[in-house]
Each structure stands twice: as structure tokens, then as C-alpha cells.
Structure 1
Amino acid sequence: MSKKLAFLQNYLLYFAWIVSIIATFGSLYFSEIKGYIPCELCWYQRIFMYPLSVLLGIAAYRGDTTIKKYVLPLSMIGGMISIYHYAIQKIPGFHEIKPCTNGVPCNVDYIDWLGFITIPLLAGTAFILIIFILLFVRNSKDRVLSPCNN
């Protein structure tokens, strides 16, 4: 393995952790600072993203690549919810399949940057990035020691 690949391999967990931190603080910014009330599906996405910030942070610090088996399912489920939520917002007639029952309807676009970037798309992008980063993380026995375990 080249030195550049070995260097990147040591920091992949940190990259995934940074993505989860940005997504967590982004959702908190939209709700707590901008005052956007999360809909039901937004809450489900938060349920799957917020623990990733803690789990990936601990795993990155310890160099624990076994976290993949816990984080990948959370990321995949959260990503599927994001895709479904984005479809409700952007595909006409799709939101009538399961309308939200309480509070803010799930088809409301608080942000609509460039005509297609919405909050569920941002969350889905974060989940997909975390999934792809973790797919490239090698098991501890196959990789160079992490920077914190030297």
C-alpha cells in the first residue's frame, strides 16, 4: 500500500465523524437558530444521525474499525428515510401515500436551494458519504495503526 493510501486509511474514521458532526450541527442550526420545526421524518433522520456523531467520534479516537458493523446499518436506514422524505417533497403525488399526521407536513420545503437542494437531500448526502467512507475502512488487522494508537 502506498504511503498516501496508508495515510488516508488512518483518517477515514475521522472523515466520517466530521461528516456526522456537520450534519448534526446543521440540523440543530435549522431548528434552533432558524426556527424551522422538524417534521416527523426529520425526527427519524435525527434519531439515526445523532448517535453517529458519538459513535464515530469514539471509534475515530480509538482507531476502532469494528464500529462499521454498528454504524453502517444506522446510516443505511437513515439514508433510506432521507430518500423517501426527499421523494415526498419533490415527486408530485408521492406525498399522498403517507401524509404526516401531526405538526408540520413532511412535504414542506424550508429550504429549496437551486431548485433541488432541501434538508432531506442534505441529510441523505451525509448518510451516503458516511456509508461510502466506511466501506473503504479496512479492518484493524489489515491496516496500519491509527494515529492515536502509535
Structure 2
Amino acid sequence: MAWNLLLLAWLVALVSTLSALFIGEVMGQAPCVLCWFQRAFMFPLAVILAIACYRSDFGIWRYALPLTAIGAALAFAHTLLYAGLIPQPIQPCTATGPSCSGAEMTVFGVVPLPVLALFAFILIAILLILIRRRTTQ
């Protein structure tokens, strides 16, 4: 059962990584500053979770959970920024790069990308916590 959870965590990270690459490279949508930071935490998860699956390393939660937590915190801040709950003066995006809260930050014009990233990080965190509970007793 723990191996299935590990596989699912890797698949979430892999789909998130491939989706980010598709949006940036195929669709041509440049990532904003916060998207780059979120990618910096999601991309390694796809790699280390794949290795953990291959090796059946259920202790991976020790290394992956901190990456997931930091990525989720960034995605949460990005979601608040997108929703307009973070004041303008502390927004990290500049006038020279893509907007962190513009209309192009959505999938099909409906679902905000920061919300999808937050969901992915939270799902991976939940799976890692379940792995920890099932393997350390």
C-alpha cells in the first residue's frame, strides 16, 4: 500500500512538472517570478520521487516533505496574490516580467495556475505523510 502512495505522489509531481513545461515551452507562456520559485521545488520532487519509487525508499518523506512544504507556502502566497489579498507594494513581480496575477495565469481561462500548484503540493504532502504513517510504527 505504501508503494502505491509513493507512486501516486511521483505521478502528481511528474504531471505537475510536465504541465509547467508544456505551458512554458509549448504554449509560450513565460512563468512569473513566483512560478519560477514553485518550479524550483516541484521539478526536484519529480526526480527524487521517481528514484524513491525505483528503490522502494519509503524514507523519502524526510527529504521530499520539506521541499513540498516550501513549495506549498510559495503557491499559497501566489494564490493570495492572484486573489488580490496581498497588497500591491509587496508583490514580487515587476513591470518587466509576466504578471503574477494576470488573466494569463489561468488554465482555459478558468482555473488559476497558482491554485493548481497549491493543490499539487498539498496532495503530495498528504501522500508523503500517509507513507510516513504506514512505514514508521
TM-score (structure 1 length as normaliser): 0.81
- Which residue of structure 2 lines up, in the alignment, with residue 24 of structure 1? 17
Alpha carbons 1:65, 1:139 under 8 Å: kept: no
Which amino acid in the other structure matches residue 58 of structure 1?
Answer: I
2:122 to 121, 128, 141: 128
2:98 corresponds to which letter in structure 1?
V
In the alignment, what sits opposite 1:61? 54
The answer (yes or no) to whether the contact 2:61–2:132 under 8 Å persists in 1 is no
Number of equivalenced pairs: 135
Cα distance, 1:52–1:15 mapped onto 2, change above 3 Å: same
The answer to whether the aligner puts 1:39 opposite 2:32 as a matched pair is yes
TM-score (norm 2): 0.88
Q: Give the AA of the match of 1:106.
A: C
- The RMSD of aligned alpha carbons is 2.1
Percent of aligned positions with the same letter in both sequences?
38
What amino acid maps onto 1:12 in structure 2?
L
Which runs of 5 or more structure 2 residues have no equivalent in the other structure?
Answer: none
Larger radius of gyration: 1
Give the Å deviation of 1:76: 0.4
Give the Cα separation in 2 of the matches to 1:82 and 1:16.
Answer: 17
